[in-house]
């Protein structure tokens, strides 16, 4: 990965990781729909002036706007609302931990739709280890597990929604000759760094930003909100991160495995 991509990855992880804390705080005074709308509105307010200052043209094709709308549904509307609802019953650190499963879902989905045409032994092992960690985090054999509640499942659904958006954006939007900032502004998402990562590194690598998020989410949750994280959950996140690390390593992939039109 290029040094500039590493910097964008770290910065995005800090911004995105802290969002779980702010969602938890916002939930204390606002309804989940209001929190979701505020995030979308603030994203648009931050990026459209940048687009105007750079004198970048907005898409004119109805087909492109339709694709942007679908991307916004899975990358913004659905996961934003699900996390806002979920964090009314689960800790912000828990939400960040579950969100770290996004890269695993991304690889799985990319393979399922043939966007990524093959999987290496390391990636296969990574998926097994990562999903084993996810099972440990949820601990369904403990009936009193707070993670395995409706809130935990809502976080999981949000993570899968993000994975869908990564593959969709990589396949239909990221390399269409439009500015990442313009695409992000139109999608009402402050994620120009995210689009640049997808464009330069591919969906699977870009999605790995989420394995930096639980570190930020756990630290902020513990220090600011006084949350606690259990040993089994920590062990589970270690396995998830190990699995994600393995899925990122490929043994000389064939051309088109990551970026091909599928």
Both tokens assigned to 57: 């043209």
- What pLDDT does residue 257 have? 41
> Using an 8 Å Cβ cutoff, are 137 and 100 in contact?
no
* CA end-to-end distance (rounded Å), the chain: 23
- Locate the domains of the chain by residue range: 3-248
* CA 128/CA 181 separation, integer angstroms: 36
> Which tokens is 175 given?
């390399």
| pLDDT the model gives residue 59 | 80
pLDDT at 192: 39
**The predicted structure's pLDDT at residue 163:** 92
Q: What is the 8-class DSSP label of residue 208?
A: G
Sign of the dihedral through C-alpha 213, 202, 40, 149: negative
Contacts of 42 (CB under 8 A, 6+ apart): 190
Category of 117 on φ-ψ map: left (φ > 0), alpha (ψ -120 to 50) or beta: alpha
pLDDT for 230: 86
C-beta of residue 7 within 8 angstroms of C-beta of residue 152:
no
- For the whole model, what pTM was predicted? 0.77
Burial class (CB in 10 A: 0-12, 13-18, 19+), 169: buried
How far does CA 26 lie from the centroid of its chain?
20
Per residue in 148-202, pLDDT (tens digit) is 678 999 999 999 999 999 899 888 887 667 777 777 777 764 343 755 555 555 6
- pLDDT under 50 in the chain at which residues? 189-192, 252-262
How confident is the model at residue 194, as a pLDDT? 53
Cα within 13 Å of Cα(65), Cβ side: 5
CA distance linking residue 236 with residue 14, whole number of Å: 22
């Amino acid at each position: 990965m290029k040094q500039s991509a590493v910097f964008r990855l770290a910065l995005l992880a800090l911004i995105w990781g802290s969002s779980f804390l702010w969602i938890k705080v916002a939930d204390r005074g606002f309804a989940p729909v209001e929190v979701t709308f505020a995030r979308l509105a603030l994203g648009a307010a931050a990026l459209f002036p940048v687009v105007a200052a750079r004198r970048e043209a907005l898409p004119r094709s109805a087909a492109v706007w339709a694709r942007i709308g679908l991307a916004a549904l899975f990358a913004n509307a659905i996961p934003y609302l699900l996390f806002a609802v979920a964090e009314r019953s689960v800790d912000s650190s828990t939400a960040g931990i579950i969100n770290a499963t996004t890269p695993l879902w991304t690889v799985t989905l990319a393979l399922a739709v043939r966007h990524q045409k093959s999987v290496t032994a390391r990636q296969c092992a990574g998926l097994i280890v990562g999903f084993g960690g996810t099972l440990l985090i949820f601990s369904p054999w403990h009936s009193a597990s707070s993670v395995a509640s409706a809130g935990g499942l809502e976080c999981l659904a949000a993570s899968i929604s993000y994975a869908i958006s990564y593959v969709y954006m990589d396949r239909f939007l990221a390399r269409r000759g439009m500015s990442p900032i313009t695409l992000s502004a139109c999608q009402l998402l402050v994620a120009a760094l995210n689009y640049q990562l997808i464009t330069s590194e591919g969906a699977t690598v870009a999605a790995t930003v989420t394995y930096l998020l639980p570190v930020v989410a756990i630290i902020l949750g513990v220090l600011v909100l006084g949350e606690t994280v259990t040993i089994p959950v920590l062990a589970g996140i270690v396995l998830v991160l190990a699995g994600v690390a393995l899925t990122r390593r490929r043994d000389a992939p064939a051309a088109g495995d990551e970026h091909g039109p599928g």
